[in-house]
């Protein structure tokens, strides 16, 4: 019980308090500054706008599009990064051969690549999924390599002495031993998947939360823009907490 209070319990208590303080400060600044709504709307205006788009179904329409793109991009990026990361971790030669090209590819911002993908694959879901996959690819790749290489060499020797084949070593040793690092990469990946989907929608889309933010900007509806940003934050935080819960469940044996 004491451990829970010192860990997750404190976080669960502190988070809503922090949110309430932030809303209070936001309301104070908007009222004292007497800003026009299109510059800084008050929390009540944003809540009203958020309630309106929830009731008329606009929010779910755009959230669904963004979630599909995020899920597709995350699965594609996670799958390719994990497989390639494992291969590179086991083969220093291949890492020296193609590693510099992978690093060089990360020097180009996703916002610069997104227009090309829109031109090549159109404004549909595929281009957004590819942008999302590119954004999440590198962090997961690096974490996979670090995780596999962090496996204790003494344990590898023990597995060989027990005549374990490669598959048994992979399932029984490498995956469990590298799981903390792999899940750390997945935490980064799920939050970056939100960024990737929105970047793709900014460049060219007719639906999604990124498109909704662009639309709100064009019509100077800042309350709508704040509503979309709040939903994006909620999605990102929910995914992070989901992976944190998965991590706690999968790594419970370590305690």
Claim to verify: residue 157 and residue 121 sit in the same structural domain: yes
Claim to verify: residue 228 and residue 153 sit in the same structural domain: yes
CA distance 166 to 118: 41
Helix axes 209-218, 58-90, angle to 10 degrees: 130
If you average pLDDT over residues 97-112, what whole number do you get?
A: 79
Claim to verify: residue 27 and residue 47 sit in the same structural domain: no
Q: Among 191, 79, 94, which Cα is nearest to 144's?
A: 79
Claim to verify: residue 156 and residue 78 sit in the same structural domain: yes
DSSP alpha helix (H) spans, 5-57: 10-33, 43-55
Question: pLDDT-based confidence at 6, cuts 50/70/90?
Answer: low
78: which 2 tokens? 């996670």
Claim to verify: residue 73 and residue 13 sit in the same structural domain: no
151: which 2 tokens? 């496996």
pTM for the model stands at 0.82
The CB-based long-range contact list for 106-114 (8 Å cut-off, 24+ gap) reads 106/138, 110/134, 110/135, 110/195, 110/196, 110/199, 111/199, 111/202, 111/203, 114/199, 114/200, 114/202, 114/203, 114/204
Mean pLDDT for all residues in the chain: 83
Provide the 10 A C-beta neighbour count for residue 209: 25
Total of domains in the chain: 2
pLDDT at residue 8 is higher than 60: no
Claim to verify: residue 58 and residue 175 sit in the same structural domain: yes
CA distance 102 to 81: 11
pLDDT at site 5: 46
The least confident of 15-19, 154-158, 194-198 is 15-19
The residue whose two tokens read 């911002």 is 109
Claim to verify: residue 219 and residue 111 sit in the same structural domain: yes
Claim to verify: residue 26 and residue 89 sit in the same structural domain: no
Claim to verify: residue 23 and residue 125 sit in the same structural domain: no
Domain coverage including residue 14: 1-33
CA distance 244 to 183: 8
Q: CA 250, 150, 189: angle at the middle one, nearest 5?
A: 55
> 222: domain CATH number?
1.10.3720.10
Q: Among 94, 116, 81, which Cα is nearest to 186's?
A: 81
Claim to verify: residue 114 and residue 233 sit in the same structural domain: yes
Claim to verify: residue 130 and residue 237 sit in the same structural domain: yes
Q: What is the pLDDT of residues 11-63, one digit of tens each?
A: 567 777 777 888 888 778 877 877 777 788 888 888 998 999 899 888 999 99
Claim to verify: residue 4 and residue 70 sit in the same structural domain: no
If you average pLDDT over residues 85-97, what whole number do you get?
A: 86
pLDDT at site 254: 64
């Amino acid at each position: 019980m004491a451990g829970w209070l010192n860990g997750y319990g404190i976080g669960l208590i502190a988070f809503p308090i922090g949110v309430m303080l932030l809303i209070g400060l936001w309301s104070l600044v908007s009222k004292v500054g007497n800003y026009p709504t299109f510059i800084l709307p008050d929390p009540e205006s944003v809540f009203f706008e958020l309630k309106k788009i929830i009731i008329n179904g606009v929010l779910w329409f755009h959230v669904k599009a963004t979630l599909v793109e995020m899920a597709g991009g995350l699965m594609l990026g996670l799958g390719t990064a994990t497989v390639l990361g494992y291969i590179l971790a086991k083969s220093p030669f291949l890492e020296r051969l193609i590693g510099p090209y992978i690093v060089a590819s990360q020097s180009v911002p996703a916002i610069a690549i997104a227009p090309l993908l829109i031109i090549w694959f159109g404004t549909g879901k595929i281009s957004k999924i590819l942008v999302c996959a590119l954004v999440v690819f590198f962090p997961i790749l690096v974490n996979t390599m670090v995780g596999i290489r962090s496996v204790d060499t003494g344990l590898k020797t023990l597995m060989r002495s027990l005549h374990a084949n490669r598959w048994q070593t992979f399932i029984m040793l490498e995956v469990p031993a590298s799981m903390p690092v792999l899940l750390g990469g997945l935490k980064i990946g799920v939050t970056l998947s939100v960024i990737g989907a929105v970047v793709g929608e900014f460049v060219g889309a007719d639906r999604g939360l990124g498109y909704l933010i662009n639309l709100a900007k064009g019509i100077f509806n800042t309350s709508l823009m704040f509503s979309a940003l709040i939903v994006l934050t909620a999605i990102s935080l929910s995914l992070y907490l989901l992976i944190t819960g998965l991590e706690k469940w999968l790594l419970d044996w370590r305690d």
